[in-house]
Amino acid sequence: MWDDDYMGPGDDDRDQFADPGGRSALRAAGPGNPRTLPCPTCKQPNRLTRKDKALGYQCDTCADRAERGGD
């Protein structure tokens, strides 16, 4: 059974991302989803949207550092 948010092959959901086709998993900011929340790792302000926080994300800088083994 698929998750309700699943978009199958051929569905274009790239517009939900801040950097479609790029390395970031952060969601696009906009009037209904502003980037106003701090990163839970580095505590820098205005790094995440509500959707990012709900998904348990951290900012791109911290995510890159963790992927390189810097954390």
The reported pLDDT for the residue numbered 38 is: 98
Q: Provide mean pLDDT across the span 23-46.
A: 94
Position 7 in a domain: no
What is the number of structural domains in the chain? 1
List pLDDT tens digits, range 25-35. Answer: 899 999 999 99
The whole domain housing 43 covers 36-71
Question: What does the alpha-carbon distance between residue 4 and residue 14 come to, in Å, rounded to a whole number?
Answer: 17
Give the phi and the psi of residue 25 in degrees, each rounded to 5.
Answer: -100, 0
Query: Which ranges of the chain does DSSP label H, i.e. alpha helix?
Result: 50-54, 60-67
Position 53 in a domain: yes
Contact 39, 22 (CB under 8 A): no
Whether pLDDT at 43 is above 60: yes
pTM of the model: 0.72
| Both tokens assigned to 29 | 């900011």
Question: What does the alpha-carbon distance between residue 38 and residue 21 come to, in Å, rounded to a whole number?
Answer: 24
